Structure 1
Amino acid sequence: MLKRASTLIVSALMLLMTVACNAQQADIQVGASQFDKYLAHLKGKRVGLVVNQTSMVGESHLVDALLSKQVQVTTIFAPEHGFRGDHDAGAHVNSGVDSKTGLPIVSIYGKNKQPNLDVMGQVDVVIFDIQDVGVRFYTYISSMHYMMQASALAGVEFIVLDRPNPNIAYVDGPILDAQFRSFVGMHPIPVLHGMTVGELAHMIVGEKWLDDGVAPKLTVVPVANYARDMAYSLPIKPSPNLPNDQAIGLYPSLCFFEATPVSIGRGTDFPFQVLGFDEIALGEFEFSPRSIAGAASNPKLKDKIAKGLDLRQSPVRGLDLGWLISAHDKFKQQDTEFFTSANFMDKLAGTDELRKAIEAGKSEAEIKQTWQTGLEKFIAKRKKYLLYQ
């Protein structure tokens, strides 16, 4: 009887916590929805928008909302996955014309990551409004970097309409070493940096991380009614293979498998929520990746049976190296190469030390201890750029 009563109490408490969390989220106002904070900056100016499918204001896309308010939108800049968010990871994003509005779309993913001065000469102000997930190798912040740099060189104002970071509770991972700088890691920050894009934009300017120390005139419209201890469930998936909160929470840990033969579920209904391999069993759960248009046209282990782990109910703990270390050890036992793309692994990690430590048989605790000093320095440095308590 006591056990049943205790279970009921726990269930009631969990329900109350869920209700409270939902109430908090209902009060949050993203930067884009606070028109009174930035419309004045746009009056009489030609506006370029760095946006995608997440750039929503209620039921309207920011492009449509601004056009309805007679803002002179002249250009849409499209990042990885495209303006509509329907391109595979790494797929080429073409420039073109938006069929709905007739506005020109300029790709900023691929060879032309930074628009030239001719393109930037068509705008007076650039707005960045894209939902990020708080992970260094998620490329939207790299696109923000290049657009800030292009704006600075062209004398164009740069406005960030801030949105919550669903992984804001975590600061973890190695600080990026400059020699491993790439489009999947451009700043000396950890894998999980615990900042919103608005906070990071301030840090990029403040720490002079743009080339030659240039800086645009920067305005950040903060999220209203938001604090760092608030959970946030994304209303729209930020990219094709991050469909829910679980995938977003596991993404920083599972993305390292992209540098290995192991599938993390691209080409399934649960990407970034499973892991498996066909020739070496990593667990008892079985799945078979297939071609999915716009999400995984040619996924790893396509049409093969992968054997591994179902992580859809696993607790999310920030950066978890346990799965990576365990899979590496099983490959090693079978004398099979694990880091088949060592160069990409090092770019994701921002260092070659993580890969080498795993190959040397170091434990997760030993590995994490090596980057604590760097994290402490980063946390101290970022304090003056934080916008939320």
Structure 2
Amino acid sequence: MKQSIVLLISVLGLLFQACSSAESSRSESNSQTVQVGAEVLLEKHLDELQGMRVGLVMNPTARVNGTHMLDTLLKRSVNVSALFAPEHGFRGEAGAGEVIEDGVDRETGLPVYSLYGQTKKPTPEMLQEVDVLLFDMQDVGGRFYTYNVTLGLLLEAASQSETPVWVLDRPNPAGGSYTSGWILDPQYKSFVGAYAIPMAHGMTLGELAKMMIGERWLQVVKQPILRVIPAEGWERSMKWPDTGLEWHPPSPNLPTFEHAFTYLGTVLFEGTNISEGRGTSDPFLKIGAPFLNLQKDQLAKLQENFPGVNIEQITFTPVSIPGKSRNPKYEGQLCRGVEIEVSNFDTFDPVLFGVRLLELMEEASDQVELNDFIYKLAGSEEIQNFNTAVWQDQIESFREARKPYLIYD
């Protein structure tokens, strides 16, 4: 009898170990779903950079296993000759809209050329000591996020000197299937919107680079020499939580994916006299103004129309936060508004939500004002009437036009 019990315990123990091992394997597999293009470069293409002077167009998100690509490439004896800094800086030391100055990287002594100051496109002089440019930045999937415009200007400049541009591709955090918002009207073309794409475009920067060239959106005489190093394991249906990748804030006010996803719609408040939450712990998730007084029934009706999000009435007081939000709207003043919490990223449409929230606030107060910047963000004058009816045909046409440039299924 004792032997039978011992045998039974042994069998159960083996089964438990097998289940634990299987569960551990699944966890490890889930945590390593996607390899970004930078990682693929290091594993498969690094030898192709031998003997080349390499320029890096990067920001703090250019990381593999927590280490910045600049440091990794130098350790691998790659001849890095110049650094180029987009909005927020090469190491991410600048807040939104802060001018980036030319300078020297403190950790390596390499020259840093600003692409977010008086010069937004590399000059021929900047590219004299460069044989190839590596572009590696984590985008958020919004037309108004300046990194895609920086990439377009880089391609234009590089085409003149026939300098190859390698885009080390990264996933679109919002997914490759989510497209929403107005297509950019050419009259509102700016540095926060330069190409005929919707507010949420559902493409990676590598795919967008191919489309910029293929659709002749760039001002070039010579064809840019583009090479995309694709991410591996990413599928269009994946949003950021599905990738298994660690989130590195692509800008100081987008500390988590939830902030970045909601930002695709609540960015519109940057073009109003309503606070978009800068100067708080949750920019783009806290929206309000001193003159607002929303009613619970109004918010309840809004929430009914948007499954996947929770909306709470709150008050908040913006403060100046160095490196994140200097002199935010209504600094030191009590604002009344809402706090947004996303409960389901697959059912929530942040762009449409941003439009409807702004519409609700305008109905609730005659003090709401739109400024010229909102037309650049929305890309259309339809924002003044909150007319989203035109989206469907525009987006269907865009999704058809982008097909030849897609890299991922």
- TM-score, normalised with respect to structure 1: 0.88
- Partner of 1:151, secondary structure, is helix
Selected match of 2:34 from 6, 28, 35: 28
CA distance in 2, matches of 1:225, 1:322: 30
Counterpart for residue 8 of structure 2 = none
Is the contact made by 2:86 and 2:116 (CA closer than 8 Å) also made in structure 1? yes
Q: Contact (CA 8 Å) 1:28, 1:226: kept in 2 or not?
A: yes
Aligned to 2:338: 309
Distance 1:313 1:375 in 2: 24
Give the structure 2 partner of residue 321 of structure 1.
Answer: 352
Paired letter, 2:32: A
Question: What is the correspondence of 1:88-107 to structure 2 with a 5 Å cutoff?
Answer: 88-107=95-114
Inter-partner Cα distance in structure 1 for 2:318 and 2:364: 25
Give yes or no for the alignment of 1:373 onto 2:385: no
User: Residues 323 and 196 of structure 1: is their aligned pair in 2 closer, same or farther, counting only changes over 3 Å?
Assistant: closer
CA distance in structure 2 between the aligned counterparts of 1:322 and 1:100, rounded to whole angstroms: 43
Kindly provide the amino acid, as one letter, of the partner of residue 72 in structure 2.
A
Distance 1:25 1:369 in 2: 40
**Superposed displacement of residue 21, structure 1:** 8.9
Corresponding residue of 1:338: 369
Amino acid at match of 1:94: E
SS in 2 for 1:39: helix
Letter of the structure 1 residue corresponding to residue 210 of structure 2: H
* Higher alpha-carbon deviation: 232-241 or 157-166: 232-241
Aligned to 1:224: 232
Structure-1 separation of matches of 2:377 and 2:273: 16
3-state SS of the aligned residue for 2:82?
A: strand
Q: Structure 2: which amino acid aligns with 1:335?
A: D
Deviation, structure 1 residue 272: 1.2
The structural deviation recorded for 1:86 is 2.3
C-alpha contact (below 8 Å) 1:257/1:324 kept by paired residues: no
- Of 117, 121, 125, which aligns to 2:124? 117
In structure 2, the partner of 1:364 is none
Contact persistence 1:289–1:299 (CA under 8 A): yes
Q: For the Cα contact (< 8 Å) 1:152–1:215, is it kept in 2?
A: yes
1:282: Cα distance to partner? 3.6
Matched, 1:190 2:221: no
CA distance in structure 1 between the partners assigned to 2:221 and 2:135 by the alignment: 20
- Using the TM superposition, give the Cα deviation of residue 324 of structure 1 relative to its aligned residue in structure 2, in angstroms: 4.0
Task: Decide whether aligned partners of structure 1 residues 37 and 204 sit closer, same or farther in structure 2, where only a CA change above 3 A counts.
Answer: farther
Instruction: Select the structure of larger CA radius of gyration.
Output: 2
Instruction: Give the SS at the match of 1:311.
Output: strand
Any conservation in 2 of the 1:81–1:91 contact (CA below 8 Å)?
Answer: yes
For 1:247, the aligned partner's letter is H
Equivalent residue number for residue 154 of structure 1: 161
> Contact 2:167–2:228 at 8 Å: present in 1 too?
yes
Structure 2 Cα separation of the partners of residues 351 and 187 of structure 1: 13
Which letter maps to 1:187? Y
Structure 1 residues without counterparts, runs of 5 or longer: 1-18, 359-366
User: For this pair of structures, how many residues does the alignment match?
Assistant: 361
Q: 1:327: how far off?
A: 4.0
Q: TM-score, normalised by structure 2?
A: 0.84
Give the distance between the partners of 1:294 and 1:78, measured in 2 at CA.
16
Deviations 1:343-384 (A, max 9, x none): 2111111121222x23xxxxxxxx332121121111011111
Conserved? CA contact 1:282–1:327, under 8 Å? no
Q: Pick closer, same or farther for the CA change 1:314–1:287 going to 2, 3 Å.
A: farther
What is the one-letter code of the residue matched to 2:234?
A: Y
Correspondence 1:44 to 2:51? yes
2:335 and 2:323 mapped to 1: Cα distance? 22
Give 1:385 shift: 1.0
CA distance in 1, matches of 2:237, 2:28: 14
Residue 167 of structure 1 and its aligned partner are, at CA, apart by 0.8
Write the deviation string for residues 24-51 of structure 1: whole angstroms up to 9, x where unpaired. 4513111101224332332211111011
> What letter is aligned with 1:287?
F
User: Counterpart of 1:200?
Assistant: 208
Structure 2 spans left out of the alignment, 5+ residues: 1-24, 296-312
Aligned twin of 2:188: 180
- What residue number does 1:236 align with? 248
Percent identity of the aligned residues?
40
Tell me, yes or no, if the aligned pair for 2:206 and 2:228 is still in contact at 8 Å.
Answer: yes
CA RMSD of aligned residues (A): 2.0
| AA aligned opposite 1:292 | I
> What is the CA distance between 1:68 and its match in structure 2?
1.0
Cα displacement string for residues 203-257 of structure 1 (whole angstroms, at most 9, x for unaligned residues) = 1111121104643211111111111112324521110000112111101110000
**In the alignment, structure 1 residue 142 sits paired with structure 2 residue 149:** yes
In structure 2, give the amino acid aligned to 1:245. Answer: F
Moved more, 21-30 or 128-137: 21-30
Pairwise CA distance, 1:315: 4.6
